[in-house]
Amino acid sequence: MILCFVITGCSVTKTVRKKTKVAPQKPVVTTQKPELPQEKKVIASPPVFGSTEEKVAHYLNQFGPVAQKEMEAYKIPASITLAQGLLESGFGVGRLAVEGNNHFGIKCHSQWNGERIYHDDDEKGECFRVYKDAASSYRDHSLFLANRQRYAFLFRLGKKDYKAWARGLKKAGYATDPQYPSKLVRLIERYDLTRFDKGKEVPATPIATKPVKTKNQSRYIVKKGDTLYGIARKLEIDITELKRLNSIQENKIYLGQELLLPNKK
């Protein structure tokens, strides 16, 4: 008998893992512009006073000394600075002053990198500067005038010549309102702001707690949605007399404001 042996060879199969080359990622290039500083969102209510005279007295007591310090440093008459502050800030209770500490209506311009607030002015939604406090607004106002060539001629005027300063500000383009100089002059003369130009401490202005009220004179509290025209029409009073009695500029009123009403004839 012949025995046959079949020998089977075992082969080992080796698995080779190929290394996959990973291509380097290209840097992501974006054309998106960096975000500008966001508008400062502040929920604030203007201080409530019974009359325009109260608002003015409070404003002068608070910022009269600040304007005098700016006058010493930059030679801008304190009377002019205060008149602009009163007018541009709405006697300290306007939105830009309350929410942005902006007392002079200075807009952002291209060089401003700080916080900003948007407000309708000559155009809708214009950009205005926001300051950390009102004193910073006063300092920026001084620098705004002192560092721009178009205002240079103002500093050659006499410190007591507030009328020339008022006209010069309009001429240099500070405001577009053709009545801007006369408004400043009226404020200076009505509230004797030249007393702040004398370079010494001015006694505090008394704040009336009860405005003078003539016989049969009533008041109206401004409500949401009110306008001067609407109030005058509803109450059947003369809008010109209403504005004069409350020293209102440019038809601006604010929520909660107390208006003295003219006597009906």
pLDDT recorded at residue 100: 94
Highest mean pLDDT among 9-13, 78-82, 218-222: 78-82
Residue 257 pLDDT greater than 80, yes or no: no
- Average pLDDT on 217-234 reads 83
| Residue 47, pLDDT score | 54
- pTM value? 0.63
Range of lowest pLDDT (24-28, 72-76, 161-165): 24-28
Q: Is the pLDDT of residue 26 over 90?
A: no
* Strand-pair category, 126-129 with 219-221: unpaired
Say what the pLDDT of residue 13 is: 46
Rounded to the nearest 5 percent, the helix, strand and coil shares of the chain are 40, 5, 55
Nearest C-alpha neighbor of 175 from the set 84, 50, 264, 39: 84
The percentage of the chain sitting over the pLDDT mark of 90, rounded to a whole number, equals 47
Query: Residue 60: is its pLDDT beyond 90?
Result: yes
Q: In this predicted structure, what is the pLDDT of residue 30?
A: 44
Q: Which has more pLDDT, 189 or 225?
A: 189
* b/e 37-73 (16+ beta carbons within 10 angstroms → b): eebeeeeeebeebbbbbbbbbbbbeebbebbbebbee
Please give the Cα distance from 112 to 129 (Å, whole number). 8
List pLDDT tens digits, range 133-151. Answer: 999 999 999 999 999 999 9
Which range is least confidently modeled, 7-21, 64-78, 83-97, 229-243?
7-21
* Residue located via tokens 């966001």: 38
Q: What is the pLDDT of residue 20?
A: 52
Which of the four pLDDT bands, split at 50, 70 and 90, describes residue 17?
A: low
